[in-house]
Amino acid sequence: MHRSGTARMTDAPLSTVRNAARVLKAFLTREESIGVSEMARRLGLGKSAVHRLLTTLAAEGLVEQDPRTGGYRLGIVMFELGEAVKVHLDLHAAAAPVLAQLREQTGESAQVGVLDGDEVVYVDRLESAHSLRLFTETGRRVPAHCTSSGKVLLAHLDAPALAAYLRRPLARFTPHSVTDPDVLAAELARVRGDGWAEAVNEREIGVASVAAPVRDARGDVVAALSVGAPVARFGAPQRRRVSRAVAEAGEAISRRLGFAPEHLGVPGSPTGGSSVPPTGTTAVTTPAAEARIGPTPVGSARRD
């Protein structure tokens, strides 16, 4: 009896969530609004249960009540969720050909990542043809602060969101991981100005990557495009060369999403005054960063 009661208690919330999902999917008919009685009839649920579900969903902005008819329709939050899904679908279509070209151009693994909380999720990826390569499957989550993609995405958070992130502990994965929020904040400021980021031995010893932003039509950074490889094959000269290709590829995807950098004057754009270090220049590093990885050779890209 006790075990049966426990099962009922465990199943009840799941049943409520399932019924809430059924209520939302009922609006796929695209009717102007649906009343409580009609919704209850279609779903085979009691009117009181449907009313409670609709009231809760309305409080969260997922549905709203039509003041004229008293019926319910989808709320603005559902529109916002739909737009978020659309961005990801558009991103895949826009990135696919550019990602293939970037892999061909660099010979290394190329991927697209988006920020989800404190982590980067890789939503698109093409592997290098080299026998020695990185293995990061699509859908994998990695900490943002110790990856080049994560640094790009963190660098373009709004000020309150970034401040909140920097107040949280930064995990150390290797001796080169950045765990000091002040050092990370300074590095992210450079990323915003340069238009690209890199990470060397920060999440895993022997792995390096460079990344650049992908923007939507409004100029908001919605993803990061990166190239990664074993450090043995991806030293400072190679990263310097690839950083330009990645920045240009990131802009190409952005343009396919409707972005026009020449109209918005975004800093770091390869066609609008990018500060990706050209060959023969010395990139800037902070003393703290230089202490972690040693002095930066003349003509090399900065190290993280």
Buried b (16+ CB within 10 A) or exposed e, 193-219: ebbbbbbbbbbbeebbbbbbbbbbeeb
Domains 2-74 and 80-293 share a fold: no
For the chain, the average pLDDT equals: 80
**pLDDT, position 279:** 30
State CA 19 to chain mean position distance: 31
Please provide the CATH number assigned to the domain covering 80-293: 3.30.450.40
Per residue in 106-162, pLDDT (tens digit) is 988 899 999 988 999 888 888 776 544 455 555 678 899 999 999 999 999 999 999
Q: Which pLDDT band holds residue 268 (cuts at 50, 70, 90)?
A: low
pLDDT: which is higher, 277 or 187: 187
Q: Are 134 and 231 in contact (CB under 8 A)?
A: no
Name 120's bridge partners.
115, 142
Residue 167, pLDDT score: 95
Domain boundaries, the chain: 2-74, 80-293
Cα 207 from Cα 236, distance rounded (Å): 12
Provide the pLDDT confidence category of residue 273 given band limits of 50, 70 and 90.
very low
Please check whether the domain covering 2-74 is classified as CATH 2.170.120.20: no
Q: Are 144 and 115 in contact (CB under 8 A)?
A: yes
Q: What is the pLDDT of residue 8?
A: 45
